[in-house]
C-alpha cells in the first residue's frame, strides 16, 4: 500500500538533489556526498551483491548522475544498467555524461517498471529534510519493497547509522538502527541477508539475495 505522504516526500527529495546538482555539478557533492574517496568506498560495498556476475543486469534506484555505472565499468562489469532518479536534472546529466544505448538506460521516477538481476539504492534514505521520522521510516520500508521487486536475484541499499556520534548528527538526516534493519530484512526477505558496517563510514550497507526458484 502506497503511503499518501510519498508524493510530498519525493517532491522534496527531487528539489533537494536538483539544487545540489545545480550548485556542485556532477561531483560527489552534487549528490550530497562528502568527497570522491568515500563515494568510491560506498560504491565498493555493492560489489558483494554482484560478485561473480559480470554480465548481470543492474537497476540503480536514485542513480544521480550515473556515477555507479562508471564505477561498475571500471570494475569490469558488462551487464545492462538502468538508472532511475526522481530529479529530472540528474537524469539529463547522466545521459549527457554516459550516453544511452542497449547497455544503459535512464528513467525519471521512483517506481521502476523494469526488473533487473540486481537492484541497488545508495544514499536515497539519508536526507529526510523536515519530514518526521515516523513518516520517513515507513517510506524507507516501502522503498525497500520496491527494490526487492526490482531485483530478481537480490538487492542492496545503505543507510546512515545510529552508531555515529550523536554530536555529529544533523537534524535533516535520518539515522537508522542497524540491528533493527537487519531483523526487518530477515523477516521480510529470507535468511540470505548480510549487514556490512566495517568499511569506515558512519553508515551500513544491507545486501539481500533472493532464494532461487525451485
When pLDDT is averaged across residues 118-122 and rounded to a whole number, the result is 97
Residue 141: all three cell numbers together: 520500508
Residue 98 has pLDDT above 60, yes or no: yes
Q: CA angle, 61 as apex, 18 and 26 as ends, to 5°?
A: 40
Q: Which domain holds residue 100?
A: 6-209
Q: Which of 113-122, 127-136, 150-159 has the lowest mean pLDDT?
A: 127-136
- Predicted pLDDT of residue 30: 57
- Predicted pLDDT of residue 211: 79
- Predicted pLDDT of residue 37: 85
Residue 31 has pLDDT above 60, yes or no: no
Looking at the 3D structure of the chain, how many domains does it have? 1
When pLDDT is averaged across residues 100-107 and rounded to a whole number, the result is 96
In a domain, 1, yes or no: no
When pLDDT is averaged across residues 52-58 and rounded to a whole number, the result is 96
Residue 161 has pLDDT above 90, yes or no: yes
164-194 CB burial, b ≥16 within 10 A, e <16: eeeeeeeeeebbbebeebbebbeeebeeebe
pLDDT, tens digit, for every residue of 79-96?
999 999 998 988 999 999
Query: Residue 181's domain is classified under what CATH number?
Result: 3.40.50.150
Single pTM value for the model:
0.88
Distance (Å, rounded) from C-alpha 200 to C-alpha 209?
Answer: 24
Q: What percent of the chain is modeled with pLDDT above 70?
A: 83
Residue closest to 61 by CA, chosen among 138, 137, 114, 128:
114
Asked whether the beta carbons of 34 and 28 are under 8 A apart, the reply is yes
The radius of gyration of the chain's CA atoms, rounded to the nearest angstrom, is 16
In a domain, 51, yes or no: yes
In a domain, 63, yes or no: yes
In a domain, 214, yes or no: no
10 Å CB burial of residue 65 (0-12, 13-18, 19+) is buried
- Predicted pLDDT of residue 1: 43
Q: What percent of the chain is modeled with pLDDT above 90?
A: 70
- Predicted pLDDT of residue 48: 96
What size, in residues, is the chain? Answer: 214
- Predicted pLDDT of residue 163: 86
pLDDT, tens digit, for every residue of 69-79?
999 999 999 99
Residue 147 has pLDDT above 90, yes or no: yes
Amino acid at each position: 500500500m502506497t503511503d499518501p505522504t510519498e508524493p510530498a516526500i519525493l517532491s522534496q527529495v527531487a528539489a533537494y538533489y536538483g539544487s545540489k546538482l545545480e550548485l556542485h555539478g556532477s561531483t560527489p557533492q552534487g549528490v550530497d556526498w562528502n568527497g570522491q574517496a568515500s563515494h568510491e568506498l560506498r560504491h565498493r560495498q555493492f560489489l558483494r551483491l554482484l560478485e561473480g556476475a559480470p554480465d548481470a543486469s543492474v537497476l540503480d534506484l536514485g542513480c544521480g548522475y550515473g556515477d555507479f555505472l562508471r564505477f561498475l565499468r571500471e570494475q569490469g562489469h558488462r551487464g545492462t544498467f538502468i538508472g532511475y532518479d526522481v530529479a529530472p536534472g540528474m537524469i539529463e546529466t547522466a545521459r549527457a555524461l554516459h550516453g544511452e544505448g542497449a547497455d544503459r538506460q535512464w528513467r525519471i521516477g521512483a517506481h521502476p517498471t523494469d526488473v533487473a538481476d540486481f537492484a541497488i539504492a545508495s544514499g536515497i534514505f539519508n536526507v529526510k529534510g523536515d519530514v518526521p521520522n515516523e513518516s520517513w521510516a515507513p517510506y524507507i520500508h516501502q522503498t525497500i519493497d520496491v527494490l526487492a521487486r526490482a531485483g530478481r536475484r537480490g538487492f542492496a541499499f545503505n543507510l546512515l547509522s545510529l552508531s555515529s556520534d550523536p554530536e555529529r548528527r544533523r537534524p535533516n538526516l535520518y539515522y537508522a538502527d542497524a540491528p533493527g534493519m537487519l531483523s526487518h530484512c530477515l523477516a521480510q526477505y529470507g535468511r540470505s541477508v548480510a549487514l556490512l558496517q566495517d568499511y569506515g563510514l558512519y553508515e551500513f550497507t544491507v545486501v539481500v539475495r533472493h532464494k532461487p526458484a525451485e
